[in-house]
Amino acid sequence: MKVNIIGAGNIADYHARSIKALGYQLGIVADENENSAKRFAEKYGCRWTTDAALLLSEKSDLVTVAVPNAYHFDVATAAVKAGHAVLCEKPMTRSAEHSKQLAELVRQTEKPFFVGYMKRVHPTVRKFEEYAARIGNMRSGLVRVYHPTPQDSWTFVRDRLAQFPDAPMDGVFVNAGSHMLDLLLRFAGPVKKVLAARMQYQEGCCPKVDQMTHALLEMENGATVTVECGWLPLFGVGKRENGWDELLELRGDSGLGTLHTTFWERPQYESPVAELWDESLKTKESYNAGMVDNFEEEYRLIKMALSGEKVPLATADEALAVDRLIDDIFAAASIRS
């Protein structure tokens, strides 16, 4: 499989490392910043360009879109229009309207399109599907996403937004909350309505970069779900007491399913843990498949999908549902603030 990448920043490293580890071919990288493109190409032994259109004119099995969220719509649209299969980093775009347009384009062109919600591909997370099905009628749920963030990082955000008000920045809810909303929708089904939402901001960071987002959701299955998501300077909390406090909990008439996910940047050191309390058996089961690099697993599954196999990667329509929910929560928060 030959993969070309647009965007040679932070996340592109994880993609390139996985492509190499699996023995796939990395063809060319495009980044509008010449230094970034060159440095990346030297590190991974591929060609480089500053012209994404040139990359799109080349044949490949997959184009990975790894540019900042704000540019996903334009870059992914161009890649689909050029006839490529695409892996687009999450979130699919920064608005439900853009994601709807892109999902329609994907439907028309019938080209494979995957969105990088890679937490869902880990074998432990896949096992959680079975646990979620065993809780009986779902009554309530919890989506928790707290990441340890030094207090002084807000100075950087504030200064950057003061200098460049249009800087392509997003906060914790869009960047990290989106992963867990994807898991909620996957395992608990669609949301009927956002009952309430509130966002908290650091001075000078509103409305782009939230510090905390809370929401209350009514699911189509009748359950009520609490969402809590934030960046706080707490480094000793969470399941592993390393500050990473990320959890999906689904509570039903006959069981409680719990999924603790991990630092996205440490797939080789930490593994998610899935648990199920089964009321009929009066037992607690737990599953931990060990260290599996989500990014590698994502590419392995893409290769299978391109050969026609059914795989649990996020589709354009599933990612659109996440973006709709994000927009609805933002709207509910601004109505009520």
Ligand X SMILES: NC(=O)c1ccc[n+]([C@@H]2O[C@H](COP(=O)([O-])OP(=O)(O)OC[C@H]3O[C@@H](n4cnc5c(N)ncnc54)[C@H](O)[C@@H]3O)[C@@H](O)[C@H]2O)c1
Contact positions vs ligand X (CB under 6 A): 6-12, 30-33, 36, 52, 66-69, 71, 75, 89-90, 116, 118, 175, 264
Instruction: Give the nearest distance from C-beta 256 to ligand X in angstroms.
Output: 27
Instruction: Give the nearest distance from C-beta 279 to ligand X in angstroms.
Output: 34
SS3 labels along 304-322: HHHCCCCCCCECHHHHHHH
Between 147 and 251, CB nearer to ligand X: 147
Between 30 and 63, CB nearer to ligand X: 30
Pair type for strands 2-6 and 25-30: parallel
Instruction: Give the nearest distance from C-beta 295 to ligand X in angstroms.
Output: 8
- Cβ-contact 120, 183 below 8 angstroms: yes
Instruction: Give the nearest distance from C-beta 323 to ligand X in angstroms.
Output: 13
d(CA 326, CA 173): 8
Between 246 and 252, CB nearer to ligand X: 246
Instruction: Give the nearest distance from C-beta 284 to ligand X in angstroms.
Output: 29
Distances (CA, A) of 332 to 183, 197, 246, 325: 21, 5, 23, 10
Between 118 and 276, CB nearer to ligand X: 118
Between 44 and 277, CB nearer to ligand X: 44
Q: Shortest Cβ contact with ligand X: which residue?
A: 9
Q: Strand (E) positions, the chain? A: 2-6, 25-30, 47-49, 62-65, 86-88, 113-115, 138-148, 191-201, 210-219, 224-232, 245-252, 255-260, 273-278, 283-287
